[in-house]
Amino acid sequence: MTVILAPGQERLAALESIWRKNLSVELDRGVKSDVEVAHALVARAASGHTAVYGVNTGFGKLASVKIPPEKTAELQRNLILSHCCGVGEALDIATTRLMMVLKLLSLGRGASGVAWSTITLLETMLARGVTPVVPDQGSVGASGDLAPLAHMAAVMIGAGEAWVNDTRMPGDTALALCGLSPITLGPKEGLALINGTQFSTACALTGLWTAWRNAQNCVVTAALSTDAIMGSTAPLVAMIHELRGHRGQIDMARAQSDLMTGSQIRESHRENDTRVQDPYCIRCQAQVSGAAVDLLRQAGAVLEIEANAVTDNPLVLVDPTHPDGGMIVSGGNFHAEPVGFAADQIAMAISEIGAIAQRRVALMVDPTLSFDLPPFLTPDPGLNSGLMIAEVTTAALMSENKHLANPCTTDSTPTSANQEDHVSMAAHAARRLKRMNDNLSVILGVEAICAAQGIGFRSPMQTSAALQAVITRLREQIPPLTKDRYLAPDLNAAAQMVRAGELVVASGLDLPLSGPAQTRVS
C-alpha cells in the first residue's frame, strides 16, 4: 500500500500509521506544478548577478561570499559532505523513514525550490527500502537539523551509508542495489534538504506516540492497582471531574471507571469501607495522569503543525503579481523552538505518569500500606522476597526519568561563529524521549505484575471482566509468583506487552490522542 501525502494537511494518526506499519508514500501529484514553479525561480536566481543566500553564496557566516554559476553543483555537494558531522548511535530505521516522509511533506509545499526529480528519489528510496544511516547526535535544532539531515542527503548524492532492509552498506552501493542512481544537486537543493526540523520532529512524534500508548497503559494498571488494594472508586465519580473541567482528567476518570465496572472486589467494600481516603496515588490518579494527557495532546497539536510546515531557508515565495514571479527570502523557520517545547512537555508528562505509577507499586508491596496484602506480594514472606526488588527497579527508573525531564530548550548555546547565537536544542529534547518511554514501560509493566498478584490474593472475589481479560493476557507469559524465581524475564515480558499495547487491547480501552486519520491510499 502506498499512502498519498497531502502537504500541509496530514494528521497525526495518518503519520503514526506510516511509522508503525512501514508504509510507502508519495506526494499528491497535484503539488507538482507548485514545486516546479519554485524550482524555476531558483534556477533564474542562480544564473543572475544578484547575490541570493544559499543559491549563489556561501552559508552561515560565509553568506557574503559570492559563488559563480559554474560552481553551483560543487557548492551544494560540498555543503552536504561538510555537514555530515553526526556522531553517536544510528537512528532506528522506522524513525529515519518518518524523517524522510516529513521532508517530503515540507518540500511538497512548493516553497523550497527543489527539482521534482529530487522529490521522486526520496519517494523511491522509501519504496525500495533504502534508508540512510543517520547518527543521532550533532544537531542543536537551529539552522535546521543540519548534521542528521546531511547524512540523509549524502546517500542521495551517492555518499554516506544506508540500510537496505537490515544490511548496512555504502550509500552508492545501496542505491545501485535498488536500481537507483545518485543525483547532482542543483541550486539551493542541498540547503533545502538539510535546513529543516524533520529529525527533531520525527523523534518528537515517535516519543509522543509511545508516550500516548504508555498513558493508555497507565489507566489499565491504575485500575488494576485500585482493585488490588481494594481502593475506593468514589474519586472517579464523573461530577467531581466535570466540576474542574479539564478534558484529560475527565477522560482518564471515565476510562478507569469503565474498566472497573462490574468488579466484585469493588462491590464487596463499597458500603462498609473503613478508609475515608486512599493515598494520592490512587485518589488523584485521574488528576495527575489527566494533566499529563492534556500536555501530550497540546504537544501533539504543535507537532502536527510542524510535520506539515516548511522549515528550510531561504524560502521561495511564489507570487504571480511580483515582477520576477516571486521572491527568495531568508527567514528563520528552521529554528526548532516549537518542537523543543513540545518535547519538553512530553518529557514532563512521561516523568509524572511514571512517578505516580511507581507510588502505586510501592503501595502494593509495603505491608504497612497495602491493606492486608502479604509483604512484597509473596505468599511466604521471609523465605521469599517476592516483588521487593522489582519495586526498587521502578524507583531507579522513576528517578532517572525525573532527571531526564529537565527542560532542554532553556539550554541554548551560540554556534557557527555566533551567527547562530540562539538555538533550540530540540534534537536532544526529542531524542531523550525514547529512553524515558522505555523506562516508563518497565514501571507500568511492574505495576501490572504487582496488581495482578494482588488481585489474585482477593480470590474468590473477581475483578471486572475488562481487567480480568488483562490479567489473562498477562498470565499467558507471566505466571503468578508462588515462590522466588529469576524475575528479569518477567519484567522484560511485561514491559514488552506495555510497549506493544497488548494490555490496552485486552482491556478494550479506547482513548484517542487526536481526531481520525485522513489518509488516502493508492
Whole-Å CA distances, 282 to 12, 247, 360, 361: 32, 19, 7, 11
Question: What backbone phi and psi angles, to 5 degrees, belong to 478?
Answer: -125, 105
Collect all residues with Cβ–Cβ distance below 8 Å to 215 and sequence separation of at least 6: 289, 292, 293, 296, 349, 353, 511
Taking a C-beta distance cutoff of 8 angstroms, is the pair 312, 191 a contact? yes
Is 280 a known active-site residue?
no
DSSP-derived 3-state class of residue 179:
coil
Torsion of CA 135, 203, 132, 125, to 10 degrees: -170
CA–CA gap between residue 234 and residue 211 (Å, rounded): 28
Determine which one of 3, 15, 53, 387 is catalytic. Answer: 53
Q: How far apart, in whole angstroms, are the C-alpha atoms of residue 390 and residue 446?
A: 7
What is the separation of C-alpha 406 from the centre of its chain, rounded to a whole number of angstroms?
17
Contact status, residue 291 vs residue 484, Cβ threshold 8 Å: no
Place of cell 531507579: 396
Q: Tell me the C-alpha distance between 211 and 441, whole Å.
A: 9
Relative orientation angle of helices 488-500 and 426-456, to the nearest 10 degrees: 110
Nearest Cα residue to 369 out of 337, 391, 398? 391
Angstrom distance (rounded) from CA 475 to CA 192 = 52
Helix, strand or coil, per DSSP, at residue 23: coil
Residues labelled as active-site residues: 53
